[in-house]
Each structure stands twice: as structure tokens, then as C-alpha cells.
Amino acid sequence: MAQPDLPAPAVAADSYTEDYYRHSCGPHEEWNRHEGAVIADYYVGAVRFKIGIEPGDRLVDLGTGRGELLAAALDAGAASAVGVEYSTAGVELAAKTLEAQRITDRARVVQADVRDTGLASAQADVVTLLDVVEHLTPAEIDQALAEVHRLLVPGARIVIHTLPNRLVYDVTYRLQRLARPSRWRSWPRQPRQPLELEMHVNEQTRGDLRRSLGRAGFHDVEVAYGEWRLDHLQEPVERLSRRLGRYRLTRPLGAADLWACARRPAG
């Protein structure tokens, strides 16, 4: 849990219930079918194509949720994997994943706040935050990235994934709603789902992530648009987002997710 000197988190840990992890968090269907014994392709693909785990890497996954990334990283050759999760429900489900995967000798889950993990300094070759930063206020992101900086060995890297790219809601959806004939004005002013309104306290843009990583002292910052599209919007917006996402100049208004990678300076 959060250390006593930390302000209370913007989204309380007990907001993340077992029902949330089983029905609203990431690719939960695979976990529910197999109770952690089979890892969803999202995590396997993230490790292979985005995170780039190398044999012998030591991973720390902040906001690990059900813990699938830990198993995927070990399967890709990581030497060890530590998950940090402040939700009791998340910790319990992650423990089930580690047991089902038979990796309790190489992976563990720590119940702690991502702003102050209590882990030893300079112990990680890779630190990941998958679908976490949108749940943190700007001040909380700054604190979390300072903690990542401390956890990484010099020259090591951080990888972030976040959904949504805020521009799809605030620009693409809004303009489509305003531009449609009156029959489309029935679209809600707020396109976000109730759970997003409750938990997404700081949705990101490419520029937001760049600035946050720069402030935290990371170098070689790269932020790229992902391949996801929001699938709960009105069909005309979905069609437009798919089209916009195909081209470099319009991708910021169509791509629903973002990937960021940066390094702690080697010196």
C-alpha cells in the first residue's frame, strides 16, 4: 500500500475490485477461461514487439494487475520478474497467475504504490507501466517516473502503454459530432464510458508522455501511436478513426493507444 508520507492516490486502491480485473481490465477473457494458466496474446506480443525482453533481463512491472506480463517476460527469457500492485484484488489474482504458470520461483508480486515501491534501487533492466499512467494525475506520474528512474540501472529502459489517446475523444469525436446533421446531435456530449470517467483521471497525448519522461530525466524518448481503435463509439466515428489512423499526418486523430520508450542516462 501507499507509504504514510504519500498523498492518497487519486483513484483509491479498493476501486480496483476482482470484478474490475475479471471483466473490465485489458484482455480479461483469456484469464477468466483459464484462471491464469494461458497468457493472452496482448502480453506475449507486448513483450516480443514493444518491450523487447532480452535473455537475462530483470523486469519490474508497475501496476501489474493480474500479473500476465510477468509470465510473458519470463517465457521470453527474463531472469526475474517483479510485479507491483496496490490493489488487494489485483495482488490475489496475480498470485493465482504465478501459481498457474508455475513461476513462483522467478516471479513475485509486491503490494505497494507505484510512487514508492519499497524495492531496492538499480535492480531493473526494464520497468513497464502498461495501461497505468491514465489512472495517475500529473503529479502522480511525476512521482512514479522518479521511482522508475531509481529502480532502473543506468542505461536501462522504461516502456509505457496507454489507452486512450486523448485526441480521439477530444478532437475527432467532438468534431464529428458537431459536423453531423441534426439527426447525429443525439450523440452524447461525453463519449467516455462510466468506468473511464471514474478511473481515467489523466488521459494522455503523445506530447504529454514526451514531456513527462523528459521532466523525469529520461533520454532517448520515443512515443509512437499504436494500432488499436476505440470500438464503443458511434460507427461513423469508428470508420473515420480507422481511416485517420492509416496515415502518418492524421494518425494522431485516429490511433487510440500510445507506446513510449525511454532510457535512464548511462552516466
Residues 20-60: tens digit of each pLDDT: 999 999 899 999 999 999 999 999 999 999 999 999 999 99
Predicted local distance difference test score (pLDDT) of residue 15: 97
Domains of the chain with CATH codes: 13-263 (3.40.50.150)
Predicted local distance difference test score (pLDDT) of residue 1: 40
Whose grid coordinates read 483459464? 34
> Residue 12 — very low, low, confident or very high, per pLDDT cuts 50/70/90?
very high
Predicted local distance difference test score (pLDDT) of residue 176: 83
Which pLDDT tens digit goes with each residue over 56-102?
999 999 999 999 999 999 999 999 999 999 999 999 999 999 999 99
String of DSSP letters for 240-256: HHHHHTTSTTTGGGT--
Omega before residue 55 within 30° of 0, cis:
no
User: Grid coordinates standing for 122?
Assistant: 538499480
Distances (CA, A) of 193 to 56, 162, 196: 40, 16, 5
Predicted local distance difference test score (pLDDT) of residue 55: 97
Which pLDDT tens digit goes with each residue over 99-143?
999 999 999 999 999 999 999 999 999 999 999 999 999 999 999
User: Grid coordinates standing for 33?
Assistant: 477461461
Predicted local distance difference test score (pLDDT) of residue 2: 43
225 φ/ψ angles, rounded to the nearest 5 degrees: -80, 140
Distance CA 10, CA 109 (A): 22
**Sequence-ordered alpha helix ranges (H) in 24-67:** 28-34, 41-45
Distance CA 22, CA 18 (A): 6
> Residue 241 — very low, low, confident or very high, per pLDDT cuts 50/70/90?
confident
Q: How many CA atoms lie within 13 A of 154 on its CB side?
A: 3
Predicted local distance difference test score (pLDDT) of residue 266: 94
Which helix (DSSP H) or strand (DSSP E) does residue 23 occupy?
Answer: helix 18-23
> Residue 248 — very low, low, confident or very high, per pLDDT cuts 50/70/90?
confident
pLDDT at 182 over 70: no
Q: How many CA atoms lie within 13 A of 163 on its CB side?
A: 13
Which pLDDT tens digit goes with each residue over 185-234?
678 889 999 999 999 999 999 999 999 999 999 999 999 999 887 777 77
Higher pLDDT residue, 4 or 195? 195
> Residue 244 — very low, low, confident or very high, per pLDDT cuts 50/70/90?
confident
Distance CA 179, CA 184 (A): 9
Distance CA 104, CA 108 (A): 6
Strands 107-111 and 80-85: parallel
Of the candidates 130, 131, 168, 162, which has an alpha carbon nearest to the alpha carbon of residue 252? 168
Whose grid coordinates read 484484488? 89
Predicted local distance difference test score (pLDDT) of residue 183: 57
Predicted local distance difference test score (pLDDT) of residue 179: 77
> Residue 181 — very low, low, confident or very high, per pLDDT cuts 50/70/90?
low
Higher pLDDT residue, 150 or 230? 150
